[in-house]
Amino acid sequence: MENKPSVLTQKYEVGRLLGQGTFAKVYFARSIRTNQSVAIKVIDKEKVLRVGLVDQIKREISVMRLVRHPNIIQLYEVLATKSKIFFVLEYAKGGELFNKVAKGRLKEDAARKYFQQLINAVDFCHSRGVYHRDIKPENLLLDENENLKISDFGLSALAESKRQDGLLHTTCGTPAYVAPEVIDRKGYDGAKADIWSCGVVLFVLLAGYLPFHDSNLMEMYRKIGRAEFKCPNWFPTDARKLLRKILDPNPNTRISMAEIKESSWFRKGLNSKQSKTEPESREVAALGRNGSGPSENSTGVSEPKQESAKPPNLNAFDIISLSAGFDLSGLFEERYMKREARFTCIQPASVIISKLEDLAKRLKLKVIKKDAGLLKLEGKKEGRKGLLSVDAEIFEVTPNIHLVEVKKSNGDTLEYEKMLEEDIRPALKDIVWAWQGEQEPQQQQMQQSH
């Protein structure tokens, strides 16, 4: 790929190498159909499996689908071969912001513009429960119009990653940009840690060098912990005040995103229109007609009435992880048999449960009802590996759409596969809208319901 253009899945002509890391290389490419320039991140699947980064790759995809914003690199699609995973990404023609800073400090207005775009994008991430955790100039790209684009969500965390204390506990990030509470390893608020990193970026943009720097890593950590830094004499007074509030070693008293946006230095040059960079249309997590991921809906979703035994709701992260277009489990599990199958259904949960109970009765299986929306179908005879047990869990996507996951919880996999193909699928065919991975939904019941 480095030497000559090649064609990927008859869709993209892949050209020069743009950069590389331990597990991935990024190439410039062009869409054959539209002639659009894109960047393709090529990940070596074997390396990822070997070092156990499967969940990180899946999380990066889920996060990038959640955070669609003008100042965040967009993920267009994910492709794969037996040995490689390909992220097709928005191409940032201007390269890394780091390259600009490496030539020296920026003018105040340019630094402010990039900082405004960074804060708006990071604040948007936080509103979606996403924390970047590795904000630095190398991960901030520029497009052809010199607009900032956040990239590399490989170390990001979702709100779901928090422990019971409500804090994140994974120590990550780049040492010079990392918040003191992350170094302390006692748990930290992802949003507050990101704010600190944004402050370090602002200092670098205005000064042309790092606020905390030492050849001895432990000494640098000591400086970070005490927020020992000195602003150069060319820093404006209001920028110094803002930096002191952002680079506060105590996360509880550190300035918030809302307060940063109201600060006098931040607001210079902003009019009311520019300050609202969040897309107006609210992205609503719902399975599209082809079951391929989230669809946009400017009106939002009305809250369904509360019922005592209602199936659990799926949030956007769940849907993206499960939906056919972004489920990567097959990329990593192809050498094993699949343990679960999923389908979407436009029938009420009560109808789905009734169908499953009828199936259990016919197959002489015991039905154990667990939580709302979870049924266990258990065999009465010992199989090759004990009693065969199948879990069927129902999730509410919208009031009119349910997603059902059927998976083996005990017993022999071959026996489960046989039951799935010969009994479960045929028995449920009249309520299934589409099995995950199938191209066309089964439309019979859908047509009857309209």
Side-by-side strand order, sheet with 84-90 = 6-8, 12-20, 24-31, 37-44, 84-90, 75-80
CATH topology of domain 95-267: Transferase(Phosphotransferase); domain 1 (1.10.510)
Report pLDDT for 228: 94
| Residues 350-406 pLDDT 10s | 889 899 999 999 998 988 886 667 888 888 887 777 888 898 888 877 667 788 888
- 134 is an active site residue: yes
Q: 309-341, pLDDT tens digit by residue?
A: 566 655 544 454 444 444 454 555 443 445 678
Give, as one character, the DSSP assignment of residue 231. Answer: -
Of the spans 17-26, 53-62, 251-260, 326-335, which averages the highest pLDDT? 251-260
Mean pLDDT of 407-427: 87
Rg (CA), the chain: 25
The continuous run of DSSP H or E covering 331 comes out as helix 329-333
Between 309 and 236, the higher pLDDT residue? 236
pLDDT band at 21 (very low <50, low <70, confident <90, very high): confident
Please say whether the beta carbons of 404 and 313 come within 8 A.
no
Between CA 438 and CA 292 the distance in angstroms is 11
Tokens of 31: 């869409």
- What dotted CATH number matches 6-90? 3.30.200.20
Q: How many helices (H) and strands (E) does the chain have?
A: 16, 19
User: What would the two tokens of residue 304 be?
Assistant: 């369904």
Which position among 123, 134, 189, 327 bears the catalytic label? 134
Distances (CA, A) of 229 to 103, 183, 248, 307, 397: 22, 17, 11, 56, 49
Residue 411 is classified by DSSP as: S
User: Looking at the chain, which residues constitute the CATH 1.10.510.10 domain(s)?
Assistant: 95-267
Mean pLDDT: which of 53-67, 74-88, 200-214, 260-274 is highest? 200-214
Q: What is the pLDDT of residues 176-211, one digit of tens each?
A: 898 998 888 777 888 999 999 999 999 999 999 999
Nearest to 157 by CA among 149, 148, 166: 166
Q: Please tell me the class of the 285-295+302-449 domain.
A: alpha beta
Greatest alpha-carbon pair distance for the chain in Å reads 82
pLDDT of residue 284: 30
CATH 3.30.310.80 intervals, the chain: 285-295+302-449
Phi and psi, residue 195, nearest 5°: -60, -45
Asked whether residue 113 is marked as a ligand-binding residue, the answer is no
More confident residue, 275 or 426: 426
Domain with CATH 3.30.200.20 in the chain: 6-90
Q: What is the pTM of this model?
A: 0.60
Per-residue exposure over 116-152, b if at least 16 CB sit within 10 Å of its own CB, e if not: bbbbbbbbbbbebbbbbbbbbbbbbbbbeeebbbbbb
- Asked if 137 contacts 98 with a C-beta cutoff of 8 angstroms, the reply is yes
The tens digit of pLDDT for each residue in 141-178 reads 999 999 999 987 655 454 545 556 665 555 555 788 98
- Report the 10 Å Cβ neighbour count for 28: 17
- The mean pLDDT value of the chain amounts to 78
Tokens for 332?
A: 């990593």
Residue by residue, what is the 3-state secondary structure of 38-95?
Answer: EEEEEEEHHHHHHCCCHHHHHHHHHHHHHCCCCCECCEEEEEECCCEEEEEEECCCCE
pLDDT single digits (tens) 222-235: 999 999 999 999 99
Classify each residue of 257-290 as buried b or exposed e, where b means 16 or more C-beta atoms within 10 Å of its C-beta: beebeebebbeeeeeeeeeebeeeeebebbbeee
